[in-house]
């Protein structure tokens, strides 16, 4: 339960524009044409490396020469991303350089660095930052607009008490989150162990021998077919929809029905197994369990099994670690990683008499359903922890935590 230590009077708190109180520095990037700028003298920070924690190293670094042409801030500075993914925050524990997508606030005698570090993560400031972003393709808050944002802070002793209270409560929360994540890892391992144990007893045969159709769709644009906002037209299933063991159609896409005349072979029917074969989601498999008129694109392989192979058994196997090893060893790295239909046809899959497959699959599904329920519970608890974190920060900067 969240405790409130005491309520601090807000009469001693000050609210001013950030630029009236703090020294704000926008980063820059030393010339990439000068290889002498690269080295291992000083970390060079970019927004993805801001993870709401301490910053001491980065994937790129500058030489002493590169550091002289970069914007550098000392230890105890607070960094915040102001282009693209707004509001990523970091606190430096050594001098660092950073790029133009980041604003840095140098240490100031009137504001504790860790107070700023948590303040910028709080929901009140995040809302103000988002409101200040320009309406462009990429969210942007330039230095001038950033310096106009409000900074609310109490006297130094109260700032220190607030930081201490935040860290006490977030420490408990982080420990709980670590336990939840460890439990998720164990569940994933258990799920894969179940899949492996279910498939080990069976002999293997090439998938082409057990499927009547192995094909893929195409891009509607290649065929001159338009996307439409009409659920009465053809449901268009892409790799985004094919998750591990289920279809996610929360945001369905539709194309004109004429697409099916051009792509007859990839028209889906209830019971088809779908396998992602392009990009980062290679190897996710699920069953098309609907009766809607539907088709798919070139990133999804359609597998229609014969009577010799239970589709649920196949789908579960395609999501196993053993299958992922096969994908990894056969995928080709071009513009995007991909598996060919030839790879899918030649893939060895477990085979046994149909009744034996059904029995194994029923037992497997029962175990996997139980695992998925526990995973959903853990995900819900992790979401709640995020809300609790924001609640702690909101209360802190409203003066209601100490």
> For residue 30, what pLDDT is reported?
94
> For residue 371, what pLDDT is reported?
85
pLDDT in tens, 367-388: 888 888 898 899 999 999 999 9
Q: Which of 40-44, 144-148, 283-287, 320-324 is predicted with the least confidence, judged by mean pLDDT?
A: 320-324
pLDDT at 7 over 60: no
What gap in Å lies between CA 160 and CA 155, rounded to an integer? 9
DSSP per-residue codes, 278-289: BGGGTT-EEE--
pLDDT in tens, 207-218: 999 999 999 999
> For residue 301, what pLDDT is reported?
97
Taking residues 243-266, report their average pLDDT: 94
> For residue 335, what pLDDT is reported?
60
Long-range (24+ apart) CB contacts under 8 A made by 2-8 are: 2/169, 2/388, 2/391, 2/392, 2/395, 3/169, 4/395, 4/400, 4/401, 5/161, 5/165, 5/401, 5/402, 6/402, 7/399, 7/400, 8/154, 8/158, 8/161, 8/399, 8/402
pLDDT at 178 over 50: yes
> For residue 174, what pLDDT is reported?
92
Q: Tell me the pLDDT of the chain averaged across its residues.
A: 91
Higher pLDDT pick, 172 / 334: 172
> For residue 196, what pLDDT is reported?
77
What gap in Å lies between CA 148 and CA 79, rounded to an integer? 17
CB 274 within 8 A of CB 288: yes
CB 73 within 8 A of CB 51: no
pLDDT in tens, 97-142: 999 999 999 999 999 999 999 999 999 999 999 999 986 678 899 9
Whole-number percent of the chain with pLDDT over 70: 96
> For residue 136, what pLDDT is reported?
67
> For residue 1, what pLDDT is reported?
31
Residue 93 in tokens = 């524990």
Task: With cut-offs at 50, 70 and 90, classify the pLDDT of residue 206.
Answer: very high
pLDDT in tens, 54-105: 998 899 999 999 999 999 999 999 999 999 889 999 999 999 999 999 999 9
Reference 57, options 104, 102, 92, 105; nearest CA is 92
């Amino acid at each position: 339960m969240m405790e409130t230590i005491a309520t601090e009077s807000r009469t001693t708190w000050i609210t001013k524009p950030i630029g009236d109180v703090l020294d704000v520095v926008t980063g820059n990037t030393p010339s990439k044409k000068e290889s002498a700028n690269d080295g291992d003298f000083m970390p060079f920070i970019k927004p993805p490396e801001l993870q709401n924690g301490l910053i001491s190293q980065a994937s790129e670094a500058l030489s002493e020469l590169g550091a002289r042409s970069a914007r550098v801030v000392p230890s105890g500075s607070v960094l915040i991303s102001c282009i693209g993914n707004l509001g990523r925050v970091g606190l430096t524990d050594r001098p660092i350089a950073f790029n133009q997508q980041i604003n840095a606030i140098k240490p100031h005698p009137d504001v504790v660095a860790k107070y700023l570090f948590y303040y910028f993560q709080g929901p009140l400031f995040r809302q103000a930052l988002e409101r200040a972003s320009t309406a462009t393709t990429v969210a942007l808050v330039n230095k001038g607009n950033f310096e106009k944002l409000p900074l609310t802070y109490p006297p130094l002793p109260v700032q220190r008490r607030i930081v201490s209270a935040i860290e006490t409560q977030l420490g408990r929360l982080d420990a709980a989150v670590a336990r939840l994540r460890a439990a998720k890892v164990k569940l994933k391992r258990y799920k894969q162990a179940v899949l492996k144990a279910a498939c080990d007893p069976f002999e293997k045969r090439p998938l082409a021998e057990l499927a009547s159709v192995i094909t893929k769709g195409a891009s509607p644009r290649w065929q001159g077919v338009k996307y439409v906002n009409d659920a009465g037209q053809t449901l268009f299933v892409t790799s985004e929809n094919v998750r591990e063991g289920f279809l996610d159609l929360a945001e369905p896409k539709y194309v004109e029905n004429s697409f099916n005349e051009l792509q007859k072979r990839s028209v889906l029917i209830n019971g088809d197994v779908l396998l992602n074969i392009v990009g980062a989601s290679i190897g996710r498999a699920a069953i098309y369990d609907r009766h809607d008129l539907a088709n798919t694109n070139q990133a999804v392989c359609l597998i229609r099994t014969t009577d010799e192979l239970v589709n649920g058994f196949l789908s579960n196997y395609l999501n196993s670690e053993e299958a992922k090893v096969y994908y990894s060893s056969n995928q080709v790295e071009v513009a995007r990683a991909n598996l060919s239909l030839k790879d899918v046809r030649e893939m060895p899959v477990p085979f046994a008499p149909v009744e034996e497959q059904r029995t194994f699959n029923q037992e497997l599904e029962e175990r996997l359903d139980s695992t998925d329920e526990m995973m959903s519970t853990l995900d819900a608890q992790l979401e709640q922890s995020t809300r609790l974190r924001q609640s702690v920060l909101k209360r802190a900067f409203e003066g209601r935590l100490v």
